[in-house]
Amino acid sequence: MPLHGKVALIPGASRPIGRAIARKFASHGATLVLPVYDWPESIAEMEDEFQTAHFDYLSITVDLQQEEAVMLLAESIKTRFGSVDFLINNIERGGMPAVHGSYDLPHNKTQWDLELNTTMKAKWLLYHYLYPIMGNHVGGAVVNISSVAAITGRSGPAAGFFSDGYSAANRAIQSFTETWAREAAPSIRVNELMLGLIQHRHGESTRGWDSLTYQETKDLRETILLERTGLPEEVAAAVYFLAVDASYITGAILRMDGGFILGGNKVPPIPPGILP
């Protein structure tokens, strides 16, 4: 197997997209380190699946928003494995306006901090403490996962999915990606996968999607050039490509949105013109 002996750290593996990514890496022989924290039912499902599949994995309960906790995670990984080959920065928590409403509501008192701390700060902490133990392994890679909310903000057909804090935090990820690519070169590549509407993440099977009217979901699909949302398995394939196969790509942002950003502007027929 091409990744036998390699270690991949993948947060968020209890949820559908993170689990698809973890499954992809494990199926190619990688040892998985899976930080988990909440979603206990999802964690139990993940562990049951991975045990049945005989994946080589270690799940560790850790709050990635806390610096000391991430530092201890890095120390534990160094003691047990020596190093990490792949850091898949798949961590975020965004409040969808369609579900949560305004930041002014009492139940959203801590929502702003949660969005920035998970989407932005936790990614920085993971890189900051894991980069030193990634060493100079040629072929090592970091993949930052972000959202097209960085481009749209809270506007357009997907405004109900992207809150202000979440959008701003995702805008910051490009700065991380480009700075880290410079810092980690030439041994370690750093790239970014910017996601659009994906099933289980701003797409079907989320409360936000279920709260939309038929017309609203129709408008969203018509905005996406491919006329559908993405699949977790498609995300996993793109992450694997950036981490493993894209040996001459670093500091790049791959937008994986089915053409959502471009779909907001249709191409009209060429006018007949006014010249005789």
- For the segment 184-201, what is each residue's pLDDT rounded down to a tens digit? 999 999 999 999 999 999
Do the beta carbons of residue 172 and residue 92 sit within 8 Å?
A: no
Domain borders along the chain are 7-256
- Residue 136 pLDDT more than 80? no
Return the pLDDT at 135. Answer: 75
- For the segment 24-74, what is each residue's pLDDT rounded down to a tens digit? 999 999 999 999 998 899 999 999 999 999 999 999 999 999 999 999 999
Around 55, how many Cα atoms within 13 Å sit in the side-chain half-sphere? 27
Return the pLDDT at 78. Answer: 96
Q: How far apart are CA 32 and CA 36, in angstroms?
A: 12
- Residue 183 pLDDT more than 90? yes
Do the beta carbons of residue 180 and residue 124 sit within 8 Å?
A: no
Around 212, how many Cα atoms within 13 Å sit in the side-chain half-sphere? 22
Contacts of 20 (CB under 8 A, 6+ apart): 232, 233, 235, 236
- Residue 234 pLDDT more than 90? yes
Return the pLDDT at 70. Answer: 98
Return the pLDDT at 96. Answer: 86
The CA–CA distances, whole Å, from 250 to 63, 103, 144 equal 29, 37, 12
Share of the chain above pLDDT 90, in %: 83
Query: What class is the 7-256 domain?
Result: alpha beta
Do the beta carbons of residue 47 and residue 98 sit within 8 Å?
A: no
Q: How far apart are CA 18 and CA 124, in angstroms?
A: 18
Mean pLDDT of 253-269: 92
Residue 94's CB: how many other CB atoms inside 10 A?
Answer: 24
Do the beta carbons of residue 40 and residue 116 sit within 8 Å?
A: no
- Residue 268 pLDDT more than 80? yes
Residue 131 sits at the vertex; the CA angle it makes with 120 and 42, to the nearest 5 degrees, is 55
Mean pLDDT of 68-96: 95
Share of the chain above pLDDT 70, in %: 99
- In the chain, alpha helices (H): 16-27, 40-52, 67-81, 97-100, 111-116, 122-134, 149-152, 164-184, 207-210, 214-223, 232-240, 260-263
If you search the block for the tokens 């970014």, which residue do you land on? 192
Average pLDDT, the chain: 94
Q: Which two tokens stand for residue 96?
A: 């969808």
